Amino acid sequence: MLGSIKGPDDVKRLAADELPQLAVEIRDLLVDSCARFGGHLGPNLGVVELTIAVHRVFDSPSDPIVWDTGHQAYVHKLLTGRAAGFAALKQEGGLSGYPSQAESEHDFVENSHASTALSYADGLGKAFKLRGDRDRTVVAVIGDGALTGGMAWEALNNIAAVKDLPVVIVVNDNGRSYSPTIGGLASHLSTLRVNRRYEDFLDYVKDKIGNVPLLYDALHGVKKGVKDVLAPQVMFEDLGLKYVGPIDGHDEQAMEAALRQARDFRGPVIVHALTQKGRGYTPAENHDEDQFHSPGAFDRATGAEKPKGRIWTNVFSEELVRLGKEREDLVAITAAMLHPTGLNAFADAYPDRIYDVGIAEQHALTSAAGLALGGMHPVVAVYATFLNRAFDQLLMDVALHRLPVTVVLDRAGVTGDDGASHNGMWDLSILQVVPGLRIAVPRDGDRLTELLREAVDVTDGPTVLRFPKGPVAESVEPVGKLGEMDLLRAAEGEPDVLLVGVGPMTQVCLDAAVLLDAQGIAATVVDPRWVKPLDEALGLAASAHKLVAVVEDNGRVGGVGDAVARLLRDADVDVPVRTYGIPQEFLDHAKRAAILGKIGLTGQDLARQITEAVAKRTSHVEPARH
């Protein structure tokens, strides 16, 4: 049946008694696809019936469907004709793991950062009103986790202020324990709440009998009091939003009925659906940690994930636990990423010193500031791409007060599979402007433990430690020191090129140095360890070379390369600087190694580019000597 679905019209044509079989086929395909390559399995297993109902009631793409976050949009992709593409889900050249405008007109927004869908919906709904598109409705599907983000509530406040805004908000609630409200009276009240005649009657009473406010208050109060006993809707209706639910999100017919009521109201309505994450796949349902939220490749029969080996996150996690034992002032903060950032081990060891603030990175940083003001040393662990959301708080709430807060950035640099929005390629640029901030970038696991310890020892300002996704790099021991920098390779004879490797890029530099040596170009390789502020010894080292090349896993604009060039200018060191990093563009999804190869961040590519740069400089300089 799924093979016949080329778009939402095909879903609408199905008879109601055919839909359970469609749901079974969807779940089978989801499990098969994610077992091969990994993916966001649990959330999508939980929204199968919900998504079918959405596409049977609304007319995508005329009615935009915005997903928050986009990782729960796999079923949406299947129902919009992309089932064949799931054979290469999240693989280079295959389907993205998030909505993608390049894939389909049904992917209205490429939404992969949480708590934003309601703001998109607010703007789209207002645009439709202004353009006179009165037959269009915006549908925002938001998970209960995304509602922990402050931006979602800012949007709700604005949506509620426009009583005829054509927005239906589907709250996919898979994390609460209460049951759906059932029975005839509950169904009647849900219908009553989205009945225009009822609203018109209340408005009439309020306008015409305004001099008897107690009558209006009594009428509204009786209705509200009964509702509040039956359903957990108080906070939504107190905002001024109509509420339908809770609905069993796996009862497709009930979901359809609720969505039609909400659509026909022609104003902002919350439809509250209770779903089970991981529904229909026993290993996911029984997975206590996160119901297979985002597993790697796994064995379909058992659900056992294939071994990943030791990753950077493991090293950080273990060292933080050791530090926690040594220092009672150490506390940890996560923004709904306890396990992915490795803070679960710290939480197990020190349950009174861990805070999960939900999807609220801004709050996380300012709360950390408060903890530091109170005498603690907070360690805030987030994905590098999500730090962008809390830049102002790091700048004005932490750095301005010179507070000892350590921010640990996991998944820094090229992450690959999750696409453009998840590459952590911005932090080394945006953080350069923060006064008093120190940034450490370890090249391997041993340096990660060293630099983490150094970071939490800083008492007069914030520190940042960043590391990439994937297997931890093998240790590279220094052969000497240049100031506080690690000298990893000394040039033989008269030095030509100084290679400055930032963190994991030091291995790329070492690979390139061997190839350069074969071309008669002597290269020195250093690892700054701390890239902000840079060691002044770098200026002296640069002056002994003919060319400086900085290699970083970050956008080229405003990153470490620019900081090195500025350092040399300020020190009057007249040596050219070449910066090698990530181009300032949104990268297509692929494996990290494949992306690094495409953008020229490999030892072979680096050696070739530097050889060309040296050759051009030599050909330009030598005639002047004659």
Tell me, yes or no, if 361 is annotated catalytic. Answer: yes
Specify whether 453 is catalytic. no
Spatial distance between the Cα atoms of 439 and 428, rounded to a whole number of angstroms: 8
- Give 179-182 contacts, CB < 8 A, sequence gap 24+: 179/246, 179/274, 180/245, 180/246, 180/247, 180/248, 180/274, 181/230, 181/231, 181/245, 181/246
Instruction: Report d(CA 320, CA 323) in Å as an integer.
Output: 5
Rounded-to-integer distance, Cα 187 and Cα 205, Å: 25
Which of 49, 252, 361, 552 is an active site residue?
361
Q: At what angle do helices 196-208 and 213-230 cross, to 10 degrees?
A: 150
Cα distance between residue 92 and residue 77, in whole Å: 17
* Phi–psi pair at 553, nearest 5 degrees: -95, 60
Exactly one of 77, 263, 277, 489 is catalytic; which is it?
Answer: 277
Is 144 known to sit in a ligand binding site?
yes
| DSSP codes of every residue in 357-371 | --S-HHHHHHHHHHH
Is 40 marked as binding a ligand? no
Q: Which of 90, 193, 227, 389 is catalytic?
A: 389
Active site residue 438: no
Q: Where are any strands of DSSP class E within 336-457?
A: 354-356, 377-383, 406-410, 438-440
Q: Is 257 annotated as a binding residue?
A: no
- Annotated binding residue 363: no
Phi-psi region of 47 (alpha: psi -120 to 50; beta: other; left: phi over 0): alpha
Is position 146 annotated in a ligand binding site? yes
Count of H-run helices and E-run strands, the chain = 25, 18
Is 626 among the annotated ligand-binding positions? no
SS3 377: strand
Segment (H or E) for 555: strand 547-555
74 is in an annotated binding site: no
Chain position carrying tokens 């109509």: 242
Binding positions for Mg(2+): 144, 174
Catalytic residues: 277, 361, 389
Binding residues for thiamine diphosphate: 71, 112-114, 145-146, 174, 281, 361
Known binding residues: 71, 112-114, 144-146, 174, 281, 361
